[in-house]
């Protein structure tokens, strides 16, 4: 009997569940899409696996590895469908969630909107204890205080408990004692301590992260249990790994214990695929844009490195965890177009999702969307959507646009559809432009890599708006995030926070901390079953000029901590500061805020055979398409039939996506199975 040899990458989006399948013995790649099942995403996932197994001809027992990106944690937070929680904190600090930070995002609002804290005031418990900033005990933790806390938690009927005590990132002893007592009394209760999930300075951000993690534990844990059960029922015994916000993967056990690490699970797969493809085609500067049915995600590869952050936000809630830097706006194929009371045409962020979806889907949708506009303009072939498995209602899409957009604006239907597309593309370009400008980067130095089911229809127009002269369309663009997920490595992010001057006196501390982090990382990878030869580590240091309230994450390629390595670290900080903020001051005093290490366990590397997934070629034809304000016949080609350059306007169709090549652009096959479009004359 053959050994299991099938690896499956899965990206569950708001509209479709995308799968990429790799046969590890041959390198053959194939892709599949199935509608997402919002009521329980695991249903759509297993349905997709069954569908692709039948299509590709493998048995469920052949599946060796499932790598899964999910929005289950993100959606739970956005919809506030969270567990009933309790927060335990140091007495006197019960209100840190409400105090937050003094920054105002809506500076002109007299009454700015403020969401209530995730845990109400009467469910926050102050504990008599205190750690000093150096980790020594100021107020000891008494057994009677712990017992009283456990009783109060029982009385409040908690489903999850977050424990975030002052200075626990330096000395976690009190947090660990509280967690041990709760676990002894209620072994079934979800408990998250800040020293385990986010052992870093800044009390508000650390507490917010811990609360989010605790409240997500029953939600994500329940989903993983249901998924595991469904996989077993389907006869799939392969290992399950889940994608983290940092782009790496973790075991199901770690995901259940630290679900906050999954908050950007799906989009990070697209970022990894962007980096992998950029390297395969020899581009060091690439901006990756992922347009699906619900959102538009932007990531940046600058100088052959993905940009990452140590803190992000979800629905205005800070999350102090490392994550790939991704800008997301509500602008996808399902984004709803409408005319407001002032007569302005708006598109998104509201989305029709997969249920009911765009009007053209014939599932009960009534609001016109970007997809409906593309159908009306004949950019999408109603008979070839999802490879011909789903016929679109062009007349219904036109009627919705005519009633909801064209009539209020005094336009005909075609012009209204083109207006919807124009507004959408302006929004897409603005998001991409901001992602580069805020880093001090010039769009003209970058290529645009477009993916997602809807991305190809708008990519050359977005590039025009940005001044970018090269657009790359990868193989399997519609399921590209799943492709990135397919090759993710196991990762563990570790950190030690300590504010100290960045001078020679810090060398001993840095050497000690790095040795500790390396040992901890090795132990975690050993638990994951990663061989020593497959382990590596990446080191970075959070640094700032003295007096600054923010830090930069400075990569540090260090083997031995000595004067030369430390000089490199300082030089890297000043150079990064100059790039980001247009100035640096090498003579100024600098500070170290945190030391970080990412322990990496490499997954089995297989060179994919992109050609293996290409279907049979189809005939070249023409179609009347509305573009530039008029209907005109333009060539329509199947991607696998494109052997030379084609000048726009033109359409390139494949099973799960369509690419529109705009006027003044030319497109031809490129390396690694890509299509490369270039601005004519640029």
Domains of the chain: 6-77+222-262 (3.30.420.40), 84-211 (no CATH), 490-601 (3.30.1490), 610-679 (no CATH)
Task: Give the whole-angstrom CA distance, residue 252 versus residue 250.
Answer: 7
Task: Give the whole-angstrom CA distance, residue 301 versus residue 327.
Answer: 13
Dihedral-angle region of residue 297 (phi above 0 means left; psi in -120 to 50 means alpha; beta otherwise) = beta
Q: 């709760």: which residue's tokens? A: 182
Task: Give the whole-angstrom CA distance, residue 652 versus residue 636.
Answer: 6
**8 Å CB contact between 454 and 461:** no
E-strand ranges in 402-511 read: 447-451, 470-473, 490-501
pLDDT of residue 62: 92
How far, in whole angstroms, is CA 270 from its chain's centroid? 7
Task: Give the whole-angstrom CA distance, residue 485 versus residue 48.
Answer: 16
* CA angle (523 as vertex; 519, 528 as ends), nearest 5: 150
Q: 């479009």: which residue's tokens? A: 677
Secondary structure class of 53 (helix, strand, coil): helix
Non-local CB neighbours of 662 within 8 Å, separated by 6+ positions: 460, 461, 464, 648, 649
Instruction: Please tell me the pTM assigned to this model.
Output: 0.82
**8 Å CB contact between 149 and 178:** yes
Dihedral-angle region of residue 102 (phi above 0 means left; psi in -120 to 50 means alpha; beta otherwise) = alpha
Q: Which residues pair with 628 in a beta bridge?
A: none
* Cα dihedral across residues 207, 212, 216, 218: positive or negative: positive
pLDDT of residue 567: 94
Q: Which two tokens stand for residue 6?
A: 């099938």
pLDDT of residue 1: 52
* CA angle (70 as vertex; 66, 75 as ends), nearest 5: 160
Q: Which two tokens stand for residue 588?
A: 């100024």
Task: Give the whole-angstrom CA distance, residue 381 versus residue 636.
Answer: 10
Q: Which of 259, 212, 240 is nearest to 97 (CA)?
A: 212
Q: Which two tokens stand for residue 346?
A: 């708006």
Phi, psi of 454 (to 5 degrees): -105, -5
User: Which residue intervals of 139-202 are DSSP H helices?
Assistant: 143-155, 173-185, 194-197
Give the β-pairing of 335-339 and 345-351. Answer: antiparallel
Q: Which residues pair with 438 in a beta bridge?
A: none
pLDDT of residue 189: 95
Q: Which two tokens stand for residue 169?
A: 């990132």
Task: Give the whole-angstrom CA distance, residue 550 versus residue 640.
Answer: 49
What Cα–Cα distance (Å) separates residue 81 from each residue in 16, 76, 396? 22, 5, 34
Task: Give the whole-angstrom CA distance, residue 299 versus residue 445.
Answer: 15
Task: Give the whole-angstrom CA distance, residue 673 versus residue 29.
Answer: 12
Give the β-pairing of 160-164 and 190-193. Answer: parallel
Query: What are the average pLDDT values for consecutive 10-residue runs of the chain, which has 682 residues?
Result: 84 83 87 84 90 88 91 82 94 92 76 84 95 93 94 94 96 96 94 95 94 96 94 92 91 94 84 91 94 87 87 84 86 91 90 84 92 95 82 94 95 96 95 89 94 92 96 90 89 92 92 95 93 93 93 91 93 93 92 95 72 47 93 92 88 90 94 93 78
Q: Which residues pair with 240 in a beta bridge?
A: 66
Give the β-pairing of 447-451 and 286-291. Answer: parallel
pLDDT of residue 292: 83
Q: Which two tokens stand for residue 501?
A: 């001057």
**8 Å CB contact between 153 and 179:** no
Q: Which residues pair with 29 in a beta bridge?
A: 22
Give the β-pairing of 552-555 and 535-545. Answer: antiparallel
**8 Å CB contact between 670 and 471:** no
How is the chain split among helix, strand and coil, in percent rounded to 5? 35, 30, 35
**8 Å CB contact between 593 and 202:** no
Angle between helices 143-155 and 173-185 (to 10 degrees): 50
Rg, the chain, Cα only? 26
Task: Give the whole-angstrom CA distance, residue 604 versus residue 602.
Answer: 7
């Amino acid at each position: 009997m053959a050994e299991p040899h099938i690896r499956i990458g899965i990206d569950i989006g708001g509209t479709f569940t995308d799968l990429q399948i790799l046969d590890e013995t041959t390198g053959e790649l194939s892709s599949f899409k199935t509608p997402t099942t919002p009521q329980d995403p695991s249903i759509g996932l297993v349905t997709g696996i069954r569908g692709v197994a039948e299509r590709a001809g493998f048995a469920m027992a052949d599946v060796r590895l499932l790598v899964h990106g999910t929005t289950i944690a993100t959606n739970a937070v956005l919809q506030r469908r969270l567990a009933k929680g309790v927060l335990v904190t140091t007495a006197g600090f019960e209100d840190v969630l409400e105090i937050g930070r003094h920054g105002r995002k809506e500076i002109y609002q007299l009454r700015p909107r403020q969401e209530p804290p995730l845990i109400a005031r009467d469910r926050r418990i102050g504990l008599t204890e205190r750690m000093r900033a150096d980790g020594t005990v100021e107020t000891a933790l008494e057994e009677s205080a712990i017992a009283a806390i456990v009783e109060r938690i029982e009385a409040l009927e908690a489903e999850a408990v977050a424990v975030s005590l002052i200075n626990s990132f330096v000395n976690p002893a009190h947090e660990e004692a509280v967690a041990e007592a709760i676990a002894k009394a209620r072994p079934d209760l979800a408990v998250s301590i800040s020293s385990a999930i986010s052992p870093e300075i800044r009390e508000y951000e650390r507490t917010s992260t811990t609360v989010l993690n605790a409240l997500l534990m029953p939600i994500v844990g329940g989903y993983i249990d249901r998924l595991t059960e469904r996989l077993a029922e389907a006869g799939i015994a392969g290992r399950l790994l889940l994608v983290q916000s940092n782009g790496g993967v973790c075991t199901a056990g770690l995901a259940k214990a630290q679900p906050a690490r999954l908050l950007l699970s799906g989009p990070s797969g697209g970022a990894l695929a962007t980096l992998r493809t950029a390297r395969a085609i020899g581009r060091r500067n690439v901006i990756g844009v992922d347009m699906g049915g619900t959102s538009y995600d932007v990531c940046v590869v600058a100088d052959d490195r993905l940009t990452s952050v140590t803190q992000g936000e979800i629905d205005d809630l800070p999350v102090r965890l490392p994550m790939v830097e991704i800008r997301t706006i509500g602008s996808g194929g399902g984004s709803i177009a409408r005319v407001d009371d002032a007569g302005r045409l708006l598109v998104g962020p509201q989305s029709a999702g997969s249920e009911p979806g765009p009007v053209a889907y014939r599932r009960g949708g009534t609001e016109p969307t970007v997809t409906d506009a593309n159908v009306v303009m004949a950019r999408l072939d109603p008979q070839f959507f999802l490879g011909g498995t789903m016929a679109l209602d062009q007349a219904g899409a036109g009627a919705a646009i005519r009633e909801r957009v064209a009539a209020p604006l005094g336009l005909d239907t075609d012009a209204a559809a083109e207006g919807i597309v124009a507004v959408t593309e302006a929004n897409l370009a603005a998001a991409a432009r901001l992602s580069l400008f805020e880093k001090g980067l010039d769009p003209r130095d970058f290529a645009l890599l477009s993916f997602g089911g809807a991305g190809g229809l708008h990519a050359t127009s977005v590039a025009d708006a940005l001044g970018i002269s090269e657009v790359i369309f990868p193989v399997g663009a519609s399921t590209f995030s799943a492709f990135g997920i397919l090759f993710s490595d196991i990762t563990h992010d570790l950190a030690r926070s300590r504010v100290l001057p960045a001078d020679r006196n810090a060398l001993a501390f840095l050497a000690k901390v790095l040795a500790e982090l390396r040992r901890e990382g090795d132990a975690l990878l050993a638990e994951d079953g990663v061989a020593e030869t497959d382990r590596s580590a990446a080191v970075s240091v959070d640094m700032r000029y003295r007096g600054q309230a923010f830090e930069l994450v400075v990569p540090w390629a260090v083997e031995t901590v000595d004067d030369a390595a430390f000089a490199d670290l300082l030089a890297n900080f000043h150079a990064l500061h100059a790039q980001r903020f247009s100035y640096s001051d090498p003579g100024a005093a600098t500070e170290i805020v945190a030391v970080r290490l990412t322990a990496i366990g490499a997954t089995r590397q297989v060179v994919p055979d992109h050609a293996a997934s290409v279907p049979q070629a189809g005939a070249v034809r023409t179609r009347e398409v509305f573009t530039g304000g008029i209907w005109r016949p333009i060539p329509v080609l199947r991607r696998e039939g494109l052997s030379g350059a084609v000048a726009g306007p033109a359409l390139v169709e494949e099973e799960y996506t369509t690419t529109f090549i705009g006027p003044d652009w030319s497109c031809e096959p490129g390396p690694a199975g890509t299509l490369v479009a270039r601005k004519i004359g640029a």
